[in-house]
Structure 1
Amino acid sequence: MGITHRGTTRRVRAALSAAVVICAVTAAVPAAATAAANATDAVRGPTVAVGGLDVGVERISVATDEGYGAASITPDGRSVVFRSLKDVAGSGGNEVYVHDRSAGRTRTEPIVEGWTPAISGDGRQVAATTPAQGMSTQRIRQHSLDLGILPFGCGRCNEPSLSADGRHLAFGVVDYISHNRRVLVADRDGGYQTIAYLGSGAPARPSISGDGRHVAYQDRAYQKEGVYLWDRTTGTTSGPLEGPDTYASLVQLSDDGGKVVYLSGSDTYVHDVASGTTQRVPDVKGVAIDPTGRHLLYAPHGTGGPSLVLRDLRTGTDKTVSDQPATAEVDSVSADGRDVVFQSAADGIVPGDTNGKPDVFVRRLF
């Protein structure tokens, strides 16, 4: 069942264009790719053993003299992608890192980015927006460990979102002449589809499901403001989703494609695609949703309590992720709400954190 909020459904013709190569990476890290990688021992805070697992928090940043942020985690909780907040000399951007929590190692990706980097669900591919020279001010770079930086035939591209196996990449592109934005999905088997033409150049924030079937995005054009959902199988787009003020901004589509999280006014809404019903979470800012669509990470409005909270949408119970100032991005919750990755400049989250700069942390909740 599609989105039912005051929406109409329209068929969007898929247009094939220049081929895009999207390759997966091997699970092992070859020597050439690890030359710049840093082995790192995660710094852990207080932990409690629950069912054989350490429940607590760890810092995964790779150095103590830089700031880090914009982190996302894979559904299995094993891999975390994040970026340095320090400009790379001569590049105009920031380094991207992928931390393997099982191996306890961090590798440096030879790409720079100006937006939140994306990681495929299997943790084998990274995409990020990087500054480009010439007429195009931005482009998306993808990197695999065995093939290096992959060619991507697109200028003025940004906002990457990867499917679970890395086959499909959703992204936005601003037309050079009209300055309006399009939303596209690239297929590693060749070609790409334009799934939406938007009437403004405002961010579309595309979010793709793990199987690549659905893409949620927002449109900020006059009288079209709202959130929309594209379905590859039916070739249709449904929407808009919107709040009481007929305005909505997208947070994230769950990995299973079943839930769409969006903001409207001071509230957060979680829309169930199958039933067409919407759950309102009042007076909070939704930040991310776990791959199953059951757990919502949110930031309470106001400053009197924790900065990040994870809510079980089925039971209504809350768990504090951080009681100190902290922020998080989309794709920051692993499956079933077990792990949450976030960034904070607070110095009391783990012992010995005295650099006075933002770091990346993972909290295991159970």
Structure 2
Amino acid sequence: MRAVFRSVMTAVAASACAVTLLASAGAAASPQEAQKAQKAHKSKEPSVRRVTQGANGPSGDASVSANGRYVVFESSADNLVPGDTNGAPDVFLHDLRTRRTVRAGLTADGGQAPYGGSSPVISADGRYVVFRSRDLIRGQEQTGYFRRDLGTGATDWVGGADDLYPGEGALVGASVSADGRYVSFTARQTRTGRPGHRTAVRDLATGGLTVLDSPYASEAHLSDDGRRLVYWESVPAPVSYPPSRVFVLDLRTGQSRRLDVAADGSTTTARSGHPAVSGNGRVAAFASWATDLVPGEDPNGARDDVFVADLRTGALRRLEAPAAEGHSTLPSLSGDGRYVVFGFTPPGVSWGTTHLYRTDLRSGRTTPVSRTADGTPAAATTGERPVDAHGRTVVFSSADGALAPGAPSPGGDVYVRTMR
């Protein structure tokens, strides 16, 4: 906060000097011009608003389309749309242009889902929403992921835990290609002493299901064309401090390679995970405790940092954290691969409390995302696709009501920040 205050004071001082120089040259700005300049300066500041204003229940797990217009999210509120009487959380879609909210998690017949819906993600083109639910297609008792076509209203079955661990699995995440054709999903084994994770990709055009060979593949994310898949391979609990690593898989050729690898080809023994891939499939990101992946001293030591990999050249870089200590984790990438949105846990803050930031990989500039009007960082979380194609629109959820004007909803809201 002090750094923000210093930056503002520096900008004010610079503006004052500029006005003085113009005045001495006989070109003093009029009050009207000064007012215009002030408005222009303010318009460059990021803006934030509450998407779920007036909701009577908590909302979260937000995802945004590539053009930054449509937001899908999960909410327990029953007053966002008329006729919400199923008594369960549902999946909603909000149009940021018209500010209209509709329920996206519906049955194949267009009715409300009897068991609600959760864990939504929207395709880059904004046409498809993938979410978790149960018994949406008449005559078919299915629990797992469904895909709804917002254009035609069609609801299709994608897959569930039984596809990976029959009778002994639980779903933990999904991702979708830009055109909605490919959907990846992951299940966790639940009935063994050392549970594993398995990930599969469904081709909804052919119905084909590709199951990854790895018995520990989790947190998978697809590129827009559905060709590249990044995933985290980790041995789950009860193993203490299990090893973990990140990979990118070319689903067309079947070739995979590890991403947490140093320039000299050496692999780290530190934990790496939470991968992400840009929509264009050219950039990947992940978090790691490693101090030996890139040259130079690691300012925060053996704590989580975000690393960015160029998938064409293999070049790896470590992002500069907002503070010298703390943890940077949970990265997401804009569709064009230029921006990284990530969570940062400052020193002295309880683990799992993250403040969101956005880094421009071209300029290196890092900007706060989840902050209140007075510059105070706010704890926030993101869904599977929280940033648009060009890094301008970021959606997130938070219980901090000071993020936007108006009364906050009980349990937390979904917010959208427009970065300029």
**Within the alignment, does 1:164 sit opposite 2:212 as a pair?**
no
Partner of 1:257 in structure 2?
A: 281
Q: In the alignment, is residue 199 of structure 1 matched against residue 212 of structure 2?
A: no
Q: Does 1:287 align with 2:331?
A: yes
Distance 2:58 2:318 in 1: 35
Aligned residue number for residue 39 of structure 1: none
- Which of the residues 77, 82, 103 maps onto 1:108? 103
User: What does residue 155 of structure 2 align with?
Assistant: 149
Q: Residues 208 and 215 of structure 1 are in contact (CA less than 8 Å); yes or no, is this contact kept in structure 2?
A: yes
1:338 to partner: Cα distance: 0.8
TM-aligned CA deviation for residue 137 of structure 1: 9.3
- Partner of 1:197, secondary structure, is coil
The whole-number CA distance in structure 2 between the counterparts of 1:192 and 1:298 is: 34
Letter of the aligned partner of 2:122 in structure 1? Answer: I
Q: Is the 8 A contact 1:69 1:85 kept in 2?
A: no
Task: Give the letter for the 2:247 counterpart.
Answer: Y
Amino acid at match of 1:290: S
In the TM superposition, 1:82-231 aligns within 5 A as 82-85=73-76, 94-109=89-104, 110=106, 111=113, 112-114=116-118, 116-130=119-133, 138-145=143-150, 146-152=152-158, 154-156=160-162, 158=171, 159-173=173-187, 180-200=196-216, 204-221=218-235, 225-231=244-250
Q: Do the aligned residues in 1 keep the contact of 2:231 with 2:275 (CA within 8 Å)?
A: no
Structure 2 partner of 1:79: 70
Residues 113 and 303 (structure 1), Cα distance of their counterparts in 2 relative to 1, 3 Å cut = farther
Residue 311 of structure 2 corresponds to which residue in structure 1? 273
Which segment is superposed worse, 221-230 or 321-330?
Answer: 221-230
User: What TM-score, normalized to structure 1?
Assistant: 0.75
Aligned-residue offset at 1:199: 2.6
Contact 1:215 1:231 in 2 (8 A): yes
Q: How many Å separate the matches in 2 of 1:295 and 1:137? A: 38
1:320 — aligned with what? 368
AA aligned to 1:237 is: S
- Give the distance between the partners of 2:39 and 2:392, measured in 1 at CA: 14
Instruction: Measure, in 2, the Cα distance between the counterparts of 1:263 and 1:211.
Output: 24
Contact 1:289 1:330 in 2 (8 A): no
Instruction: Pick closer, same or farther for the CA change 1:239–1:195 going to 2, 3 Å.
Output: farther
Confirm or deny: 8 A CA contact 1:99 1:105 kept in the other structure: yes
Shift of 1:362: 0.7
SS of the counterpart of 2:390?
helix
**Per the alignment, do residues 188 and 319 of structure 1 end up closer, same or farther by CA in structure 2, a change over 3 Å counting?**
same
Q: Does 1:237 align with 2:240?
A: no
Unpaired runs of at least 5, structure 2: 1-37, 79-83, 107-112, 164-170, 237-241, 262-266, 290-303, 322-326, 372-377
* Structure-2 change in CA distance of 1:52 and 1:302 (3 Å): closer
Structure 1 residue 296 corresponds to structure 2 residue 310: no
Q: Deviations over 1:117-157 (max 9, x none)?
A: 11111111111123579xx9951122224334323454446
**Greater helix percent: which structure?**
2
Query: CA RMSD of the aligned region, Å?
Result: 3.3
1:96 maps to amino acid: V
Read off the aligned partner of 2:397 and give its amino acid letter. Answer: Q
Q: Secondary structure at the match of 2:175?
A: strand
Q: Which amino acid aligns with 1:267?
A: D
Q: Deviations over 1:81-131 (max 9, x none)?
A: 11114699877x5200111112221110225344x3111111111111235
C-alpha contact (below 8 Å) 1:82/1:98 kept by paired residues: yes
Following TM superposition, by how much is the alpha carbon of 1:174 offset from its aligned partner in structure 2, in angstroms? 5.2
Q: CA deviation at 1:61?
A: 1.0
**CA separation in 1, counterparts of 2:53 and 2:70?**
14
Give the stretch that moved more between structures: 57-66 or 172-181.
172-181
Question: Shift of the alpha carbon at 1:49?
Answer: 5.9
Q: Which is higher, the Rg of structure 1 or of structure 2?
A: 2
- The residue that corresponds to 1:23 in the other structure is none
**Cα 1:125–1:53, aligned 2, differ >3 Å: closer, same or farther?**
farther
Q: CA deviation at 1:330?
A: 3.3
Work out the CA distance in 2 between the residues paired with 1:315 and 1:257.
21
The whole-number CA distance in structure 2 between the counterparts of 1:300 and 1:153 is 33
In terms of fraction of residues, the more strand-rich structure is: 1
- The one-letter code of the counterpart of 2:100 is R
Amino acid at match of 1:316: G
Q: Match for residue 31 of structure 1?
A: none
Q: How many pairs are equivalent?
A: 314
- Cα offsets for 1:241-277 (capped at 9, x unmatched): 3674342113311111111111112111111100101
The 1:316/1:354 distance shift into structure 2, 3 A limit, reads: same
Is the Cα contact below 8 Å between 1:288 and 1:329 reproduced in 2?
no
How far apart, in 2, do the equivalents of 1:246 and 1:302 lie?
21
Q: TM-score, normalised by structure 2?
A: 0.66
